Amino acid sequence: MNDTPARLLRLLSLLQTPREWPGSELAERLGVTDRTVRRDIDRLRELGYPVAATLGAAGGYRLAAGAAMPPLLVEDDEAVAIAVGLRAAAGSAVAGIEEASVRALAKVEQVLPAKLRRRVRVFAAALTPPTGAGPAADPEVLATLAATVANRERVRFAYRDGAGAETRRNAEPVGLVPARRRWYLVGYDLDRAGWRVYRVDRIDRPQPTAARFTPRPLPAADPAAYVTGRRTDWGTPAFRLRLTIHASADRVAGRLGDGPGEIVPIDAHTCRIDTVRDDAPEWLAHRLLGLGADFEVHEPPELIVHLRAIADRAERAIVPQRT
């Protein structure tokens, strides 16, 4: 390899494999002499990569841990594995990992060749199980939106409201926020001249416009605070949810309350929920009935109305037995 930059990149890629590399093997892989390998190792060190050397017959070169992470050079199959894993992590219930996964996914998918993107879609569709916790956001949509947020780039997209009606939006995106089992985009809607919160699972065909913008002052400390502190754009208002459930907090966790501090144990067999939610009352009613435990609803009144309607429907479905 006579192209020095290309050879250095290839050498760095080999050294990122966790093993000792004898100089002779590196020279064979690169098609150069042992002396050239030593010079290239010195060049990498000058660039800040900590290449450690071990003397002796069993010695060789390896890339050690340094103060900063070097750029990763991966093979095609490794890139596909990373992208598929990040797509799964973006929808993970592990607190704190979703947002970082989306940022990393945006960086990976930005540079993936078209053929590898197709492989990622195939693997993701085959391997990602449905969560059953509500509508899921498309990882490709998330990655595109994350890139527009990072680049401060205006974006156009189709948006569906709660009734399924579609409108076109032109927005200045300032943040992606994971909250209550969903992803939200915070942005300034240029056509409506106001701040909006969009559910990402209702966004289709996002198109970056390449038009940069200077973020306007957000009427909140940050996008996350804006999402949790106001009514959102899709027509489902936030409301106070107060419940007493005759089951342990561990039994309820993950099935109804997902946020930190939402479920408060009262004793070993009882817990309470007192929080602000934006779920549809119909959804909450069926989730509560699916717990298989007694409960009392203190508010909101809309949830009580739906539970009474379900009870009346069940009562009408019971046919008296003939005697």
User: pLDDT, tens digit, for every residue of 141-171?
Assistant: 888 888 888 888 999 999 987 667 788 999 9
Q: What's the pLDDT score for residue 8?
A: 85
Residues of the chain where predicted confidence (pLDDT) is lower than 70: 1-2, 18, 56-59, 66-74, 88-99, 121-136, 162-163, 180-181, 229-238, 254, 256-261, 277-280, 319-323
Q: What's the pLDDT score for residue 155?
A: 95
Q: What's the pLDDT score for residue 132?
A: 44
Main-chain phi, psi angles of 264, to 5 degrees? -115, 115
Residue 31 one-letter amino acid: G
Tell me whether residue 277 is exposed, middle or buried, using C-beta atoms within 10 angstroms of its C-beta: 0 to 12, 13 to 18, 19 or more. Answer: buried
CA–CA separation, 28 and 240 (whole Å): 68
Query: Is-contact 50 16, C-beta < 8 A?
Result: no
Q: What's the pLDDT score for residue 94?
A: 44
Q: What's the pLDDT score for residue 235?
A: 45
Q: Name the nearest CA neighbour of 199 among 161, 228, 255.
A: 161
**Would you list the DSSP string of 33-74?**
-HHHHHHHHHHHHHTT--EEEE-STT-EEEEPP-SSPPPP--
Q: Peptide bond before 300: cis, by omega within 30 degrees of 0?
A: yes
Q: Is the pTM of this model over 0.85?
A: no
Tokens of 317: 């479905």
Q: Name the nearest CA neighbour of 44 among 81, 13, 90, 87.
A: 13
Count the Cβ atoms, other than its own, within 10 Å of residue 285.
22
Beta bridge partners of 160: 166
Q: Could you read off the pLDDT of 76-129 as tens digits, one per residue?
A: 777 777 777 777 666 554 445 566 777 777 777 777 787 787 777 666 654 444
Q: What's the pLDDT score for residue 1?
A: 53
- Judged by DSSP in three states, 11 sits in helix
